[in-house]
Every structure is written in C-alpha cells, then in structure tokens.
Amino acid sequence: MDLKRMLLVNLLVGITGRMQYRRLRKVSKHPQRHSDITLRKIIFYAKDTVFGKEHNFDYIFKATSEEEFYRRFRENVKPNDYEDLRPYVERHKHGESDVLFHGKPVLYATTSGTTAEPKWIPITRKYLWKIYVKMSRIWLYNFIRHRSTCFGGKVLAIVGKYKEGEAPDGTMYGSVSGVTRDDMPKFIQKLYANPQCVYDISDYNARYYVLMRKSIEQDVTVIVTANPSTIVEMQNNVNKYYDEYVKDIENGTLSDLFDIEPEIRAEIESALKPNPKRAAKLRKLKEKHGNVLPKHFWPNLQILSTWKCGNTAIYIDQFKDSFPKSMFHQELGYFSSECRFGLVLDDSINTVLFPHYHFYEFVEESELGKTDPHFHLLHELQEGKRYCAYVTTFAGLYRYNMNDLLEVGSKFMNTPTVHMIQKVNGIISLTGEKLHEKQLIDAVHRAEDVTGVKTRFFVGFADTEIRGYRFYYEFEDTTLSQQQAEEFNEVVDNKLKEINMEYESKRDSLRLKLPVAHRLVSGSFEKFKEECVAEGYRDGQFKIQLLMQDEFRHAKFKKLIL
C-alpha cells in the first residue's frame, strides 16, 4: 500500500468532494424549493430550442405561481418515452443545433431500446461538466468516508467501450460507464489497474482474460462494476485460466491463446515486465487454497461497488463469501444511460436523489396503466410505497418515463430516497394473472428454502401456445434429475400461488397450466450473455429480466437445455 500516494489522493478527493457533499445536504433539506428552481432553470435553458418552442416553454416559464407553473408544464409537455424523442435526437445526430437543447450533444450514450434501433441518449456539455462531474466528486468522497485507505492500491473499474463510433455529424457515441471512467480526475486515473484499450478488445473471452491477468498482478483496493454478474464472470475466468495468468506474470507476457487486436496487444505488451515474485506468491495461494478467490489475491480490497437491487441480487449470493470480510460492498445506486439519478451514501440500498440537478416526477404503482394518472413530486413520496419514475434533465429528456418501479426508503435530510425493484415491463399477464418478475424470484428462493435444492440461475418465459410458463433452472447440483427438477418446479408453482392471488385463481381454474420445468447446462447465463455480446450488446450494461415474453431471447435458452 502506497501511503504517501493515498494521503495525497485523499486530500484531493476531500477538497473536490466535500464541498459538493455539503451542498447536497443543504439542498436536501428543502426538496420542494430546489425541485422548483431546477425545473425553472431547465425550462429557461431550453425555451428557444425546437422542442421548447413546440411545447411553449416561454409561456410555461412566465407563470407567476408555482401551482400555475406546474399546471402549464404538465398541460404542454406530455410524458415521453424514447420513441417520442427519437425524431429530435435524429436531427441532432445529423448536425442540427438547438433541437432539444442549446447547441449539440458532446457525445451520445447508446443503450438498447424497445425496438431494434438502439437508444441514442444525448449528453450535453452542461450535463457532463456541471452535473456528472460534480456527482462523481461526491461519489469518490463517499468512498473515503467509509474506507479511508481505499485509494492505497489500484482501482479496477470495469466499464463499456469509451468510443464505439460516430453519429452522422461526427459526434462520438459510446458507453456512459466508459465516459465516466475517462472523465475521472487525473489523480484517480493513475490508479487504474487496466488501460482503456482493454475495454476495446472485441473478443469477449479475451477481454476478461486480459482484464484479470493485469489486475491479479496488482494490489486492487477498489472494484467498481455496475452488474454483479460481471464479478461472477471474473471468478469463472480465474478458475479457468489461473495457471496461465501466473505464467504470463512470471514472464511478463500476454498469452497467445486469445484473439486480441494487434494494436491493442502491442500497447498492453509494451507495459508488461517479468514479475516472478508475484507469480510465486500466486502459485503458493493455489497450493494453499485450491480454489483461489479475491480475498486471497486481493486481501487489501476495501470497496466493492455494484448494483444490489432488483434481480441483480441473485448473482451476489454466488460470491458473498469470496471477498475480505472487512470489505465494504456498497450499492452503486439508481442510474442508467438516460440519467444518473443520485448516489447511495451509506450501507443501505437507497439512492439519495439530487433535487438541484434533475426534476423528478412519480406515478404510484396502483395508477400504472391509467390514461390520466396522478403525478407526484419528489417531496410527496411516501416511504414504503412504489412508484414509476419520470425525469426532466438538462440533456433533453422531458417527463421521460424510465419504466422502472422504485420503492421509497427513508429520508436523507428531508428528501425521500429510492431503490430499484424491477422494470415496470417485468410484469407478464397471459390471462390476467399479472405475474411480476420479483414474484418469480421470491417463489424460487422460497422453494430453495423448503427443498434445500439450490439454483445458480433461473429464468421464466410466458408461452402462449401452452397457455402457461416455461421455467428454466440451472441447479448447483448438476446431477439433479429431470424428475427432481419437476418436483422443485411444483414447489415454485405453489409458492407463486401463495404470493399472487390472481395467479392462484388462474391456475386453479386451469386457465394457466402448470409451468414446464427445464434444466439448463452449467454456465447458462454466461453462455447466453456471451452470445448476446457477440451480437452487439454491451457487456458493461448487460441486463436480463428474469421473467419475459420474448421469443428472441427464449430461443437462446431453448438451446441451453440440459
């Protein structure tokens, strides 16, 4: 651990982050006031744009009371999803200025959408520098608040590709995680365990090999990756290639077993040096432990930051004993390519929202699907209730439907916090049962408790042809027979009946048949993800719903049946 460097980094992180943190605490005491101010600023900022003129922003801004202001805003700007905004984004992509906001985007964050065309999320200079950078300063400061020695070693930030291409007008597009990594202060970038080019390696397996070959040689003290499934994949790579790492580290080489672009290989190899001392230590770890885990090769690890909410929790169980006991595993927080909503600042799963950076609206779960639901403001949220989030930003999103179901937690100062439950469209209804993804997750976990049978992964698909569901299980015990799988599946079915009364009614009336059980091959999720990434999905942002009605994805799992 480099004590001198750590003290310097802590000093700089403290200087840049403490002021922003204090500002957040101050505004969080008055969420209504600062939400009002933020919306007015956004409306004024965009009133002379194409979107602003079409939606009467100048008229909205001139309202003389807050009540009148909100009324005008909601009357003139209807709730939007991405397809509503796509025509405006397309104009920006082809070089037009002042469409959704002043000027043009400095970059686009791309992510999957509801159609075959991806979403191109515009990011403005104002949004990037005035909001993203300031939030990142608080984020880093929060790390040293919880673990003061966390920057004594290296930082492993697993992200998407920084630049994937260019829009027709030449503006770059890439992953928001890659951009965030690249925009960190220089004194943080010097701590990175891997160069940016590692994330440009096209071959999925090769990328993870290089990532771990480089990182396992170093003293990593912070790991940041949105999806905890990535941690599982890292360990799978370790289990498969550990001896190859050791040989490479000893000789200062990069294995030729992997397909790596020549220019990237050359850049990585130029920085490698023989390290027989580290190689010898890694060999001893394997002799001692057999199955070598992060707590063995990274004993000084202080911070692991991943998502812990929603369906990501199923992956956390797979590595819960793999890290040092003193490590702080912090929820990464509720964010997406569209918007960085806020940050988790404690050991809970609740995201602290930023009323001075974004304008938030919420529709209560019971009103989802109504033609004219009631929209709640941030300060009106009630703890324990669930809402769908809408956001208005300085980057051209107006009353944008995030399609996420959030649950309200305790307050930070006077501002409600939230955490992710599931996508709103993670609800399937073949015949009125309205089966939630979370209900399937709960049912499987309850079945595990009852039977003692454990799963590594599971996923469910609605199948209209059989008037029911197909549940796919990857069991920890690979010798489990089909009959045992079906017995487990019947317990899941019974637990679903207990959880969802409509499901029980539809099953008892035979409108829904008993779900069909399928056994999956080992590593099924990894195989599914690898195939998707090969088809163009970004691995850093890769998410999967565990309950779907999607024949494209269903077909992929049909190929993985044991």
Q: What is the pLDDT of residues 218-227, one digit of tens each?
A: 999 999 998 8
17, 151 Cβ separation under 8 angstroms: no
228, 158 Cβ separation under 8 angstroms: no
Mean pLDDT of 338-351: 95
Q: Is the model's pLDDT at 541 over the cut of 50? A: yes
pLDDT at residue number 540: 58
Q: What is the pLDDT of residues 394-430, one digit of tens each?
A: 999 999 999 889 999 999 999 999 999 877 877 787 8
Q: Compute CA distances 533 → 121, 204, 332, whole Å.
A: 20, 7, 23
- What is the number of alpha carbons within 13 Å of residue 427 lying toward its C-beta? 18
Mean pLDDT of 140-160: 95
Predicted confidence band of residue 557 (pLDDT cuts 50, 70, 90): very high
Which SS3 state, helix, strand or coil, does residue 161 take? coil
Task: Please give the residue that has the higher pLDDT: either 160 or 235.
Answer: 235
Q: Is the model's pLDDT at 314 over the cut of 80? A: no
Predicted confidence band of residue 366 (pLDDT cuts 50, 70, 90): confident
Element (H, E) at 547: strand 547-548
Burial-class residue 117 by CB neighbours within 10 Å (0-12, 13-18, 19+).
Answer: exposed
Q: Is the model's pLDDT at 125 over the cut of 70? A: yes
pLDDT at residue number 112: 61
Q: Is the model's pLDDT at 362 over the cut of 60? A: yes
Mean pLDDT of 310-315: 70
Q: What is the pLDDT of residues 461-513, one digit of tens each?
A: 998 888 889 999 999 999 999 999 999 999 999 999 999 888 888 888 777 89
| CA–CA distance, 260 with 266 (Å, rounded to integer) | 9
Task: Please give the residue that has the higher pLDDT: either 540 or 511.
Answer: 511
Predicted confidence band of residue 535 (pLDDT cuts 50, 70, 90): confident
Mean pLDDT of the chain: 92
Q: Is the model's pLDDT at 113 over the cut of 60? A: no
pLDDT at residue number 558: 95
| CA–CA distance, 529 with 525 (Å, rounded to integer) | 6
> For the chain, which residues make up each domain, given as ranges?
198-326, 350-423, 427-558
High-pLDDT (> 90) share of the chain, %: 72
pLDDT at residue number 539: 61
User: DSSP states of 344-380 as a string?
Assistant: --SSSSPEEE-TTT-EEEEEEGGGTT-SSPPEEEGGG
Q: Compute CA distances 50 → 47, 60, 125, whole Å.
A: 8, 15, 19
> Mean pLDDT lowest for which of 46-50, 211-215, 262-266, 462-466?
462-466
459, 558 Cβ separation under 8 angstroms: no
> Mean pLDDT lowest for which of 130-134, 445-449, 458-462, 486-490?
130-134
Mean pLDDT of 15-20: 94
| CA–CA distance, 259 with 226 (Å, rounded to integer) | 26
Element (H, E) at 308: none
pLDDT at residue number 116: 47
pLDDT at residue number 414: 97
Q: What is the pTM of this model?
A: 0.83
Q: Is the model's pLDDT at 115 over the cut of 60? A: no
Angle between helices 524-534 and 229-251 (to 10 degrees): 80
| Bridge partners, 422 (sequence order) | 405
